[in-house]
Structure 1
Amino acid sequence: MQLYGTARSHFTRKVRLLLDHLGHDYTLVDIGNVADADPEVFSNNPLMSVPVLRDGGVQLIESDHIAAYLVRTYDSADQYKVLTTQIEHLNARAVLNGAMAAEVRLVLAERTGLETRTAAYFEKARRVISNVLDWCEEQPDLFSPDTPTYLDFHFISLWDHANFYELVEGGWPRLQDLARRLSASDLIQRSAILG
């Protein structure tokens, strides 16, 4: 099993966390610069995005689709609630994915030389991240750091990525505590962003 992505990608990390928690062996194929514009670098993903999973003859794109495939194929008990239909969790995952997408817009823009501090488009992306964290701060019962689920994997991936790239500044004491509790796990630390 090969997972194409980067060690810093939060979308890739969600899948890595699931694979690590399921105890599956996989190879992370680091694609290098995600600003590259060659689909071959992304395992022929026409979206030129990560992650991409190769499992035998299966090639699958998009982190949540990959997670659903992994659970349907290898975890019929769905121990991490990937296939949940609980409205609150689906909405939380949607807003966390939206914040992650906003982070990608900012990071890729800066990597390709665009000024992100003066354009309204990028200011909106920053505002999305902040709004999502505000929203999550007010809903701490969604998360379960002692028995993490796929929703918690979304959160810690977003949180660590936003902090690594300095896209957020302080605040959110409940989320800081949630991140601290989640990060106490060796399985969570295994995929942490390293300098």
Structure 2
Amino acid sequence: MESVYLIRHAKATGQEPEAGLTEEGLRQAEELAERLAAHHIEYIVSSPWKRALQTAAPLGRVALRHIHTDERLQERVLSTLHLDNWMDVLKRTYTDEDWTGEGGESTRFATARGLEVLGELWNRSERSSAVITHGNMLSLLLRSYDASFGFEDWKNLTNPDVYVMKKQPGDGTSCSIRRIWPD
């Protein structure tokens, strides 16, 4: 694997796992697929949540690829309780990686499950892959490669959003990261 395209899903109707894309989100997913067609995506893996799968579907059609699902790419749950101050709680998780809300998972745990997927992708024989996930998971993956990526960067993510990670030639351990959507 030479390149991994990390993709945040298009605009959705909500945050729950079964929330789908809005009409605008469906159009965004089509546009995303058209723009990524030139990148010759050879392997696609997505969160099983509806909005991620709906974002992946047009790319699968354009790239003529099966969409694999992986629960490790689903969004991180901060807590199973309603949090009026969820933005403050989320901000805290960028500085306290072991904090866990009632029924939720820590930054450290969520990052680890996402990195397992990336580790498996880097070892695949295909040259490029697309990972369709959610905003917080995307930010945690980017943060694992660039420690400066934090809460404010998460707030600046768009729906959709795309970062490409490329292995550095001759160095199997590091990669460059570049945002390619929006451009």
TM-score band w.r.t. shorter chain: 0.3 to 0.5
* More contact order relative to length (CA 8 Å, sep ≥ 6): 2
Query: Which one has the bigger strand percentage?
Result: 2
Query: Which one has the bigger helix percentage?
Result: 1
Tell me the TM-score normalised to structure 1 length: 0.38
